[in-house]
Amino acid sequence: MIHRPKLVRYAAVSVVAALLTIALKGGAYLLTGSVGLLSDALESVVNLVAAVVALFALSVAARPADEEHAYGHTKAEYFSSAFEGALILLASASIAVASYQRLLAPRPIETPGLGLAISTVATIINLGVARVLLRAGRRYQSITLEADAHHLIADVWTSVGVVIGVAAAALTRWHRLDAIVAILVALNVMRLGVSLLKRSMLGLLDTALPEDIRGKIMAILESRSAEGVRYHALRTRQAGARRFIAFHILVPGQWSVQRGHDLLEEIEEEVRAAVPDSTVDTHLEPIEDPVSWADQPLERPEGAAGKREVTPPEG
């Protein structure tokens, strides 16, 4: 079982890192006047906002299920990651605009050595925090922590590109190079934002579990076929770290209620063992009754319960 409250600590680390890197990158910009370093500092401000939102989302997601939220609060993480994806797009657009303006009116870079050294320290901090968040996100299946980690990784790439651009501009005295590199970095960051938004939207739309996980579930259900047991109406979805699995089990009509119940308990236990952190809902039906087969589609036809002309599939 995943212990969700623990994840808030990782978001708090992200907030502290964002505050520290804003101070470092802001100082680097004031020393150099580089638009590349300014764009880098602006992205760190976005990191701070995103980290605060992640902290709030994880606090909400850690709440247990209640009467109004019977399936828990874990979906709050998708709102956080979607918001973060939007912030990444906003940051990339801001960087591109500032860089374009500097491209039209280039300026020489002042004291590049010290500014680049400070920016490098900030980049190392972001990289370390990003690796910690990414490991935690994957371990605890938290899209919020993964989103925050990817945001920081995007910031790292931004910083690397900016450092290279500023250094090259200072060495070659081709001052437009500073703005050109910043624009290229902005385009790369924009790509990451779009990817994160897409993943968040899929989560909010209750996308099915990955094919490999569904394969494990189907293998468990099909293992009972020798007993004359069939299944259908398998439906899956994921909300944050929680998986939801539902299916119907069809058994011979002469079975007792107790025997059918025991079978469902065994199957549910096997599924939960194969797919951790899952909620499993089952429904028992007599295999001989044609109406039992009327709910194979995702939407059961209206009035199907009163119809008896449905023909069960062979086998």
Profile the chain (315 residues) by mean pLDDT over runs of 10 residues: 61 85 86 76 75 75 72 72 78 77 73 81 90 85 77 79 78 78 76 78 76 92 90 84 87 92 94 89 90 67 51 53
Report d(CA 221, CA 275) in Å as an integer. 13
CA-closest candidate to residue 291, choices 260, 256, 250, 255: 250
Reduce the DSSP state of residue 300 to 3 states and report it. coil
Reduce the DSSP state of residue 120 to 3 states and report it. helix
CA 130 to chain centre: 14
pLDDT at 296: 62
Reduce the DSSP state of residue 281 to 3 states and report it. strand
pLDDT at 297: 61
Q: Say which DSSP state 269 is in.
A: H
CA-closest candidate to residue 46, choices 160, 166, 165, 158: 158
Give the start-to-end residue ranges of the domains of the chain: 4-204, 211-306
Report d(CA 307, CA 290) in Å as an integer. 8
Report d(CA 153, CA 226) in Å as an integer. 51
CA-closest candidate to residue 93, choices 198, 196, 190, 195: 190
Report d(CA 163, CA 255) in Å as an integer. 72
- Looking at 3.40.50.280, 3.30.70.1350, 3.30.70.1560, 3.40.50.261, the CATH number of the domain 211-306 comes to 3.30.70.1350
Second-level CATH architecture of 4-204: Up-down Bundle (1.20)
Cβ atoms 18, 47 nearer than 8 A: yes
CA-closest candidate to residue 249, choices 236, 237, 261: 261
- Secondary structure of 39-82 in HEC code, one letter for each residue: HHHHHHHHHHHHHHHHHHHHHHHCCCCCCCCCCCCCCHHHHHHH
pLDDT at 266: 94
Token output for 282 = 């089952």
pLDDT at 221: 93
Residue 136 neighbours by CB under 8 Å, 6+ apart: 7, 10, 142, 145
Token output for 89 = 């797009």
Report d(CA 310, CA 295) in Å as an integer. 11
pLDDT at 1: 43
Kindly compute the dihedral angle of the four CA atoms of residues 57, 58, 60, 61, in this order, to the nearest 10 degrees.
110
Token output for 157 = 């790439």
pLDDT at 80: 72
